[in-house]
């Protein structure tokens, strides 16, 4: 059902079964997939694509232009995957030309109230953002990551798969996959053991990740020495390879 007070541009593509609440505004070149529910007083700006079966709560602002002084009105986009839940007062900005022109949110993500995702961020699938989590521009967040409440992440930072960022943290360097980081400035607190167990990581993978983590972060080797030793001594499961490849590819330096 589309409420009669909703304002929908003639060039918006609204799939069958979409619900749009009172006083919501849908701009031109917006695409909304089947089964998605838009609450009241939601603003969805041009060049935004929203997948199927999403739920967007009241007062969210989706696809607004970037908060970037370099933005000059160029054509850029926002893409949101299927089955995402976007709670009250969430703000998500579309991309900039210098950052690739695209902000993307993967499937099955939960963005709790007041989350902000800035321009050119790329967020994986099944990511959880707690209340007031804040992403600056050009951030990459891996699959299954959890970002705690009141977290601020610096621009260009990368967060690895299954990482957990504790509440009230300020993250200024890359956070490897499978770890816990917290604090101002954030530092590492070991593997995200609880999270990995909840996702049914097998014992051999848990043991291999623990060994790789210890070699890289706990015995005082240089980064190159640690990575070389981890490749030589640790079972090379896909998860361990992901962990080591993330570390060697880090551009901003690593949270430690």
**Distance between CA atoms of 108 and 85, rounded to whole angstroms?**
7
Residue position matching structure tokens 């070389």: 228
* Closest to 163 in 3D by CA, of 132, 123, 202: 123
Is 148 one of the annotated active-site residues of the chain?
no
Q: Extract the residue ranges of the chain whose pLDDT is less than 70.
A: none
Mean pLDDT of the chain: 98
Rounded to a whole number of angstroms, the distance between the first and last alpha carbons of the chain is 50
What pLDDT does 49 receive? 98
Is 137 one of the annotated active-site residues of the chain?
yes
What one-character DSSP code corresponds to residue 98? G
What pLDDT does 62 receive? 98
Residue position matching structure tokens 């690739």: 100
- H or E segment and range at residue 128: strand 128-129
Tokens of 126: 């099944």
Is 9 one of the annotated active-site residues of the chain?
no
**Distance between CA atoms of 128 and 123, rounded to whole angstroms?**
10
Whether the Cβ atoms of residue 29 and residue 10 lie closer than 8 Å to each other: no
Burial of 118 (0-12, 13-18, 19+ CB in 10 A): buried
What pLDDT does 165 receive? 98
Backbone angles phi, psi at 190, to 5 degrees: 95, -170
Residues of the chain above pLDDT 70, percent: 100
What pLDDT does 200 receive? 98
Give yes or no for a cis peptide into 185 (omega within 30° of 0): yes
Q: Which domains does the chain have, with CATH numbers?
A: 7-138 (2.160.10.10), 196-249 (1.20.1180.10)
Considering the candidates 33, 63, 99, 137, report the single residue annotated as catalytic.
137
Considering the candidates 82, 107, 108, 120, report the single residue annotated as catalytic.
120
At 48-67, the pLDDT tens digits run: 999 999 999 999 999 999 99
What pLDDT does 65 receive? 98
Whether the Cβ atoms of residue 20 and residue 6 lie closer than 8 Å to each other: yes
Whether the Cβ atoms of residue 177 and residue 162 lie closer than 8 Å to each other: yes
What pLDDT does 254 receive? 98
At 205-221, the pLDDT tens digits run: 999 999 999 999 999 99
**Distance between CA atoms of 70 and 47, rounded to whole angstroms?**
19
Considering the candidates 39, 51, 82, 119, report the single residue annotated as catalytic.
119
């Amino acid at each position: 059902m589309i409420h009669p007070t909703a304002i929908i541009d003639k060039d918006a593509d609204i799939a069958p079964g979409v619900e749009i609440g009172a006083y919501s505004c849908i701009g031109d070149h917006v695409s909304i997939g089947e089964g998605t529910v838009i609450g009241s007083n939601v603003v969805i700006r041009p060049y935004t694509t929203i997948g199927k079966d999403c739920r967007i709560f009241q007062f969210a602002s989706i696809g607004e232009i970037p908060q970037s002084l370099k933005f000059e009105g160029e054509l850029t986009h926002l893409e949101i995957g299927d089955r995402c839940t976007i709670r009250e007062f969430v703000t998500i900005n579309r991309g900039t030309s210098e950052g690739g022109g695209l902000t993307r949110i993967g499937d099955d993500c939960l963005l709790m109230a007041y989350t902000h995702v800035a321009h050119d961020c790329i967020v994986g699938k099944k990511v959880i953002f707690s209340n007031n989590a804040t992403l600056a521009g050009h951030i990459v967040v891996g699959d299954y990551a959890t970002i705690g409440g009141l977290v601020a992440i610096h621009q260009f930072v990368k967060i690895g798969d299954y990482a957990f960022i504790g509440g009230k943290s300020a993250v200024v360097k890359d956070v490897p996959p499978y770890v816990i980081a917290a604090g101002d400035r954030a530092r590492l607190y070991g593997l995200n053991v609880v999270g990995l167990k909840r996702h049914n990581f097998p014992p051999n993978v848990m043991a291999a990740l623990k060994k790789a983590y210890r070699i890289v972060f706990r015995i005082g080797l240089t980064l190159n020495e640690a990575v070389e030793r981890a490749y030589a001594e640790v079972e090379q499961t896909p998860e361990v390879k992901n962990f080591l490849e993330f570390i060697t590819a880090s551009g901003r330096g690593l949270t430690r």
